[in-house]
């Protein structure tokens, strides 16, 4: 990192020693996973820079925003509408939770058999190592799964948490209920920020967030090419950064990258061998710095062409209509857009399996890898539905269950390589 950020971290109340240990882990992992890739697009430089400054420049920007009276809101789920937070002049940051930290403290408040993502966010808070979390004025939790729902009660002991109740079905009455939840959320955000959301501010923020989603869609379209202009690992990285970077800057950087990628496609330049098996990843989100499975797949001779997950297509695949006139009408559009998210917390969740079949065709995928975090009941159980549907359509599937540790890497690699060989055969 370029500057000395220690005074800033200290003022945020971080445990500097524990934070140093965290920062020491990142660079070697990043170097191995990312910087050794051959034939990388030049414009990945910006995203490398963002990672290099992950606890530096962006945190400084958040502090500057707060110094001017702005609020920072944190979230752990793609159900939290960024449009609403931005319309009140706030900044929404996706809190990463991709590495387990502070396990000893976490196990004092949570049971052992809970998924890594939940353990991670609790650990980050208890160990005081995340400057994003410590910058948040408010956390928005949700009732997607039991683990999160109950963990947010505990997190609320340390930082204010507003919990969004997410419907578990998509009937008309659930949609009405969800709209009501967003009306309450809008009021909470107005209270926290002290700013009234107007039709103009909401329309502007819908357009800005849509622009970010369009840029990510443009990038993903390019991954349908036989010769991929960008690796799956790099695409995942961009999808992860989308959650916390400045919206307008990020959008313009992704569009700049797409221009380069479009040129590469025109010149017939790719990162993969033409016969490399094409894989779709589906399952639980992969938050920064969780690159384990993507790295294992792409270092086994395959390429990832799409992520059907919240750090992937589910984050950007649907847009909010931009022609709403009143706040209520726009809120309706927002509610409709977010309830389409194919999270396994819904029952039934056929949209996800239908989407996978469609994606396999569109992205010319040779196989799907379903990756669930251990102890995640919704996704581990839904793997059965995914398996049956894909089987009916003749699409090969590998089911894996893992956590944030590296201990299973060898075993996973063996299974992934065997799956890739099977597809090739
Ligand atoms: S919309 S996938 S981001 S909830 S892995 S904590 S489900 S036990 S993350 Fe998610 Fe929102 Fe759904 Fe997406 Fe629970 Fe499972 Fe843990 Fe999970």
- Report which ligand 1 atom has the smallest distance to the Cα of 372: 5
265 within 8 A of 223, measured Cβ to Cβ: no
378 Cβ closer than 6 Å to some ligand 1 atom: yes
> Which segments of 54-168 does DSSP mark as H helices, in order?
57-67, 82-87, 103-109, 116-127, 131-135, 146-155
78 lines ligand 1 (CB under 6 A): yes
Between CA 81 and CA 73 the distance in angstroms is: 11
Q: How far is the CA of 77 from the centre of ligand 1 (A)?
A: 7
Q: How far is the CA of 200 from the centre of ligand 1 (A)?
A: 33
Q: Which of 20, 121, 104 is closest to 404 using CA atoms?
A: 121
**What's the pTM value of the predicted model, to 2 decimals?**
0.97
Distance from the alpha carbon of residue 261 to the mean position of ligand 1, in angstroms: 31
Give the end-to-end CA distance of the chain in Å, rounded to a whole number.
Answer: 46
* Residue ranges in the chain modelled with pLDDT below 70: 1-2
Q: Which of 111, 141, 148 is the pocket-test mutation for ligand 1 (most atoms within 8 Å of CB)?
A: 148
For residue 265, the CA-to-ligand 1 centroid distance in Å is: 35
Task: Calculate the alpha carbon distances from 229 to 209, 220, 256, 369 in Å.
Answer: 25, 10, 14, 21
Atom 7 of ligand 1: nearest residue by CA position: 145
Q: Is 310 in the pocket of ligand 1 (CB under 6 A)?
A: yes
Looking at residue 202, its pLDDT comes to 98
Residue 200 is predicted with a pLDDT of: 98
Planar angle of CA 407, 308, 222, nearest 5 degrees = 110
Q: What is the pLDDT of residue 2?
A: 64
């Amino acid at each position: 990192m370029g500057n000395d950020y220690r005074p800033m971290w200290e003022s945020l109340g971080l445990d500097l020693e524990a934070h140093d240990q965290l920062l020491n882990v990142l660079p070697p992992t990043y170097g191995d996973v990312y910087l050794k890739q051959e034939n990388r697009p030049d414009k990945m430089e910006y995203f490398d820079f963002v990672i290099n400054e992950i606890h530096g420049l962006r945190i400084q920007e958040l502090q500057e925003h707060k110094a001017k009276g702005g609020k920072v809101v944190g979230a752990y789920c793609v159900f939290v509408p960024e449009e609403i937070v931005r319309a009140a002049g706030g900044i929404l940051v996706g809190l990463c939770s991709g590495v387990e930290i502070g396990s000893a403290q976490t196990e004092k408040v949570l049971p052992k058999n809970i998924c890594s993502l939940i353990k991670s966010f609790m650990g980050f808070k208890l160990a005081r190592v995340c400057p994003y979390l410590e910058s948040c004025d408010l956390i928005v939790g949700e009732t997607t799964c039991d683990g999160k729902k109950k963990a947010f009660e505990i997190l609320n002991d340390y930082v204010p948490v507003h919990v969004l109740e997410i419907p578990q079905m998509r009937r008309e009455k659930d949609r009405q209920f969800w709209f009501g939840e967003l009306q309450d959320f809008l009021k909470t955000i107005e209270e926290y920020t002290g700013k009234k959301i107007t039709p103009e501010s909401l329309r502007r923020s819908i357009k800005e967030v849509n622009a970010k989603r369009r840029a990510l869609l443009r990038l993903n379209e390019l991954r349908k090419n036989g010769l991929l202009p960008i690796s799956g690992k790099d695409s995942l990285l961009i999808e992860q950064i989308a959650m916390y970077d400045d919206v307008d800057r990020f959008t313009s950087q992704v569009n700049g990258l797409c221009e380069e990628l479009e040129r590469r496609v025109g010149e017939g330049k790719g990162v993969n061998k033409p016969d490399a098996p094409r894989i779709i990843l589906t399952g639980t989100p992969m938050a920064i710095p969780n690159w384990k499975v993507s790295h294992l797949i792409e270092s086994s001779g395959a390429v990832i062409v799409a992520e059907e997950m919240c750090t992937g297509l589910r984050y950007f695949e649907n847009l909010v209509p931009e022609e709403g006139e009143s706040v209520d009408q726009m809120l309706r559009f927002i509610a409709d857009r977010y309830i389409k998210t194919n999270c396994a917390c819904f029952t039934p969740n056929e949209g996800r399996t239908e989407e996978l079949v469609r994606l396999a065709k569109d992205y010319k995928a040779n196989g799907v890898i379903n990756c669930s975090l251990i102890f995640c009941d919704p996704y581990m159980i839904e793997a059965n539905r995914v398996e049956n549907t894909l089987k009916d359509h003749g699409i090969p599937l590998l089911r894996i269950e893992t956590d944030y540790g590296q201990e299973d890497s060898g075993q996973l690699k063996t299974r992934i390589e065997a799956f890739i060989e099977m597809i090739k055969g």
